[in-house]
Structure 1
Amino acid sequence: MAVSQQVFLRDAMRRLNLTRDIFAARIGVKRRALDTWLLPEASQEFRGMPEVVQRFVTEIVENELLLAKYAQSAQSGPLRDRIATNGKHQLLSVEQFTRESVEELFSVADIMQPIARRQKVSRVLEGAVLGNLFFEASTRTRVSFGAAFCRLGGSVCDTTGFTFSSMAKGESIYDTSRVMSGYVDAMVIRHPEQGSVAEFARATNIPVVNGGDGAGEHPSQALLDLYTILTEFSRLGKLLDGAHIAVTGDLKYGRTVHSLVKLLALYRGLKFTLISPPGLEMPAEIIEQIARQGKHVIEQYHSLEEGLKDADVIYATRVQKERFSDEQLEGYTADFQVSKEVVDRCCAPDAIVLHPLPRDSREGAHDLSTDLNHDPRLGIFRQADNGIPVRMAIFAVLLGVENLVQHSMRDVTWSPPSHIGPEDAVFHGMY
């Protein structure tokens, strides 16, 4: 570079007419990383930006079409309006997001971190009531949504299962949704039938969040998964653009992977390795969709070791036996278990191993092995913890209070632990 890094980046932001926050979001890096790149080279905190970033920014500023694309866009107004579906402030699918809007949501999640880590409290949703309507059993998702709403000062009404619900007595989805809307200010719906959450959403104008609809989508899980990948990559000094993502397990019925690969496809030049037993491959329409979104490489394997080679991220999923009809699991053998031995043999020391949970730890389950529990590459608990700030961000955006959170925070009055789990890595603590 003929000019200093600081001058180069400042010139790029000037030509694009972008603030630091938006510029960082546009090029897919954390604001704190950008800040270190913009310091004078004599500063002790100065960091050289990766060569891939320099090439990317150079490509943008030297190409008129890209310059226009990445410049301050005409998109404006509240984020909740820009991700709205059918004119309503609801979250039903990851397809409501662009790369820009998803990273803006993650900026809100970053603001939520001191609250999620028990350092601060906020009451911006005081008086608001969430209806957690889970017509399918759930522990993690239901409690995570409830905790996120409570940490912003709201309260939660829970219901789980069909047995005691009015729908078991013949009430329609429309009637149930409309009645519940008179009681609560937002709803999270989980339902075993694909498309059912959209039916709930059509019957109300209050915010509705899809907590999982059959084999369809699980948008909040995909958002927290992507947030985790970006956070881990930031810690490791890596960029998501150009990364190798290996997804393994039940790709046919796993709604978490359906949503996640759609979000990941918003980034540039990824290599997707899709590894599954025969008969449990990723649906063809989803593969076609991510292939249309960018210059991605998509490979499919029925062998775990072949597919995991040199992966930056391993995303393992359990087999969704509850969604099967007559399919057999003859092809789902011990060879599909993601173990420490396999990860050591196939991947670099800075690989990240994720799983949406719950994982089946019973003998013969062939899921994510527990022998990775003390391996820093295992990110499943950091991933689960990230569900709180991401879901807090979702509620704050949909209810229009995201700009109030920063100034509403006050210190907690109790003494939280330095780490959530007794064996958490240092970088996993609540610091």
Structure 2
Amino acid sequence: MSLTGKHILSSDLFDRDELERLFELADLLVPVARGQQVTRVLEGAVMASLFFEASTRTRLSCETAFLRLGGGVTSTTGTEVTSIAKGESLADTSRVVSGYCDLVVMRHPEVSSIHEFAAATNVPVVNAGNGAGEHPTQALLDMFAIHREFGRLGKTVDGSRIALVGDLRHGRTVHSLVKLLSRYDNLTIVCVAPDELNMPAHLLELAAERGHTVEESDQPSLGLKDADVVYTTRLQTERFKDRPLPYSDDFRVDAALADRVFRADAVIMHPLPRDGRPGSNDLSPDLNRDPRLAIFRQTDAGIPTRMALFASVLGVADEIRDSLRPARWYRPEYVGPDDAPFYK
């Protein structure tokens, strides 16, 4: 299947073969993402970056990925500074913006928004998060990060135990991730959440229909035991409005819990942002120096993954290998002072 010219609205688009092809290309692009090599396969191309909902990592990662490929970026954030505030429809905005660019990346708080926007244009549209719906590029980078971590550990995704913990009802990252995980073989997918925040039933059914074992638990100390991957998520407080937050401190993933029940070779992940404040019951900063914590390796994976996707959607993936050349500027050996010794 070719991705050239396709809208990327859902993780449903990717089968196992396409995932492996994208990850092979992303592996090739890691030195470009790290500023060690250069390519200009998208020189002259323009990406429109439309973020109608708050974002730091996704917006900067998508824009950096396009720039690293040699393209240019034009952007806007929020609705209050666009013509939407004057009553313009998403369809009109889509057609107008599409005349300015070669690819659109959009985030919007309404689930249906991305589909309305994409229906009004033939320019490829990439979903950067549609409310509590999906986040396909985050799921791709999560799977690529798992691919890299398991390669380092001598493991395979097939047959592994993947635990997802936190707000699984509203967390669009885990919705997209379950769809990609289900493309592998013989997984055990453990969903750990309070009853009110359980994974949507249709996603559990999808995984079960594809031959995976699905378990649910409301006790992290039991559900996270012996997992190869512990994927934590924050409580999506913006989805609750005036409702009370159904969360206890049992769901705080910290060093004490990790040392008590996690595997020695577990991979600890989080899509970020995490809320490290006391009482937040999220992923604790006291794990920052634990080499099992992969959250910054995970965020770094976003650049090569999105580069691979954009190059594929714009039909230049086959030109990348021959276009690579060394970069000439300084880069530190380690990006972060707490980075694991093996991560250079």
TM bucket, shorter chain: over 0.9
Q: Does 1:133 align with 2:87?
A: no
Query: What 5-or-longer segments of structure 1 have no aligned partner?
Result: 1-74, 82-87
Q: Does 1:299 align with 2:222?
A: no
Q: How does 1:159-238 map to 2 (within 5 A)?
A: 159-238=76-155
Offset, 1:354: 0.1
The answer for the alignment partner of 1:119 in structure 2 is 36
The answer for the alignment partner of 2:306 in structure 1 is 391
Offset, 1:328: 2.0
Task: Give the distance between the partners of 1:129 and 1:100, measured in 2 at CA.
Answer: 28
Offset, 1:327: 3.4
Offset, 1:250: 0.2
Task: Give the distance between the partners of 2:336 and 2:284, measured in 1 at CA.
Answer: 19
The answer for the alignment partner of 2:192 in structure 1 is 275
Query: What 5-or-longer segments of structure 2 have no aligned partner?
Result: none
Secondary structure at 2:91's aligned position in 1? helix
1:196-217, Cα deviation, whole Å (9 max, x unpaired):
1111111111111000000000
Offset, 1:97: 0.8
> Number of paired residues?
344
Q: Does 1:425 align with 2:333?
A: no
Task: Give the distance between the partners of 1:425 and 1:275, measured in 2 at CA.
Answer: 28
The answer for the alignment partner of 2:224 in structure 1 is 308
1:31-52, Cα deviation, whole Å (9 max, x unpaired):
xxxxxxxxxxxxxxxxxxxxxx
Pick the aligned partner of 1:151 from 51, 58, 68: 68
Q: Does 1:80 align with 2:80?
A: no
The answer for the alignment partner of 2:258 in structure 1 is 343
Task: Give the distance between the partners of 1:412 and 1:233, measured in 2 at CA.
Answer: 29
Contact 2:38 2:327 in 1 (8 A): yes
1:291-322, Cα deviation, whole Å (9 max, x unpaired):
1122x111111111010111110000001111
Higher relative contact order (CA 8 A, sep 6+): 2
Amino acid aligned to 2:282: D
Offset, 1:162: 1.0
Offset, 1:326: 4.7
1:134-188, Cα deviation, whole Å (9 max, x unpaired):
0001111000000000001111111110111111111111100000001111100
The answer for the alignment partner of 2:295 in structure 1 is 380
Task: Give the distance between the partners of 1:411 and 1:101, measured in 2 at CA.
Answer: 28
Offset, 1:410: 1.3
Task: Give the distance between the partners of 1:197 and 1:191, measured in 2 at CA.
Answer: 7
Q: TM-score, normalised by structure 2?
A: 0.98
Offset, 1:325: 4.2
The answer for the alignment partner of 2:249 in structure 1 is 334
Show structure 1 runs of 4+ deviating over 4 A. Answer: none
Secondary structure at 2:276's aligned position in 1? coil
Task: Give the distance between the partners of 1:415 and 1:324, measured in 2 at CA.
Answer: 45
Q: TM-score, normalised by structure 1?
A: 0.78
Task: Give the distance between the partners of 2:312 and 2:163, measured in 1 at CA.
Answer: 31
Q: How does 1:235-246 map to 2 (within 5 A)?
A: 235-246=152-163
1:348-398, Cα deviation, whole Å (9 max, x unpaired):
110010000000011110100111000000000000000000000011000
The answer for the alignment partner of 2:18 in structure 1 is 101
Offset, 1:333: 1.1
The answer for the alignment partner of 1:32 in structure 2 is none
Task: Give the distance between the partners of 1:310 and 1:424, measured in 2 at CA.
Answer: 24
Query: Is the radius of gyration larger for structure 1 or structure 2?
Result: 1
The answer for the alignment partner of 2:201 in structure 1 is 284
Secondary structure at 1:428's aligned position in 2? coil
Q: How many percent of aligned residue pairs carry the same amino acid?
A: 55
Amino acid aligned to 1:290: A
Task: Give the distance between the partners of 1:284 and 1:328, measured in 2 at CA.
Answer: 23
Amino acid aligned to 1:423: D
The answer for the alignment partner of 2:239 in structure 1 is 323
Contact 2:106 2:126 in 1 (8 A): yes
Task: Give the distance between the partners of 2:91 and 2:22, measured in 1 at CA.
Answer: 30
Task: Give the distance between the partners of 1:410 and 1:96, measured in 2 at CA.
Answer: 32
Aligned CA RMSD, in angstroms, stands at 1.1
